[in-house]
Amino acid sequence: MRISRSIVPNLFTLANLFCGFSAIIAISDGKFFDAGLFILFAGIFDALDGFVARLTRSASPLGVQLDSLCDATSFGVAPSFLLYEVCLQHSHTFGILLASIPALAGVFRLARFNVELTSLEDKKYFTGMPIPAGALTVVSYVLFFGLNTSGTLFSQSIDGALVGIIVGLTMVSRIKYDNLPRPSLKGLKESPLAYILFIILCGSVLFTKGYTLFPFMVLYMVFGASRHIYNTIIKTKKKAK
């Protein structure tokens, strides 16, 4: 087997998968916060593999496919399993169906992304909410709201189902969502405000020990949807003229 420099980013990608697998094991053992941390670490490795690939100039079609396969587990199956165990297991078969929506939508989105991929360069935006963002939305809701709810099992199931459905629909939509700022001097010079806002948001999440993450993810979804609706209205008016 020929060893190339692409092995380095691929190892980060496989670390992402290992974290996703570990999250599933933790969920099975009822260690939900540990599972959330594993999914968070998977997200870190997912960001690092692309950064390392660009740094070593070793981005490849194989890396893209490997990344999608790992993401399907870490950001699709693991969050859906967490949603089921915490919010929807009392709904039995119907709960399984509802909890699977983020995983099904996320895998579909990954496949669509790969088919439509025309360049290995980073994009400024994604079509449909990225699956890591969908995973963060589901996980942050489950850990900081689903586990601490004072409502009935029925209301807990309804809330969990709504989160899963909305996240799923957002991922398979054609709404454009901004890519997160990448650590580079060029990106900092081009979008300083985006970097400052991103740092403030990260600081707020750390300061509140994660509680503000879900509201921020909701704002991310709403902002993308609102901008999409606004642009659609503007285009319609231009065509009408």
Supply the pTM of this predicted model: 0.89
Break the chain down into helix, strand, coil percent, rounded to 5.
80, 0, 20
Question: What is the tens place of the pLDDT at every residue in 184-216?
Answer: 556 666 667 777 787 888 888 888 888 899 999
- Helix axes of 61-71 and 101-116: crossing angle, nearest 10 degrees: 170
Question: What is the tens place of the pLDDT at every residue in 24-82?
Answer: 999 999 999 999 999 999 999 998 887 787 777 777 788 889 999 999 999 999 999 99
Q: What is the pLDDT of residue 51?
A: 78
Helix (H, G, I), strand (E, B) or coil at 127: strand
Q: Tell me the pLDDT band of 1, cut-offs 50, 70 and 90.
A: very low
Query: Higher-confidence residue: 224 or 57?
Result: 224
**90 with 146: CB under 8 angstroms?**
no
Domain 7-180+211-240: assigned CATH number: 1.20.120
Domain ranges of the chain: 7-180+211-240
Distance CA 81, CA 78 (A): 5
Kindly state the average pLDDT of the residues 217-225. 93
Q: What is the pLDDT of residue 206?
A: 86
Kindly state the average pLDDT of the residues 75-95. 94
Question: What is the tens place of the pLDDT at every residue in 131-185?
Answer: 999 999 999 999 998 887 666 677 788 999 999 999 999 999 999 998 876 655 5
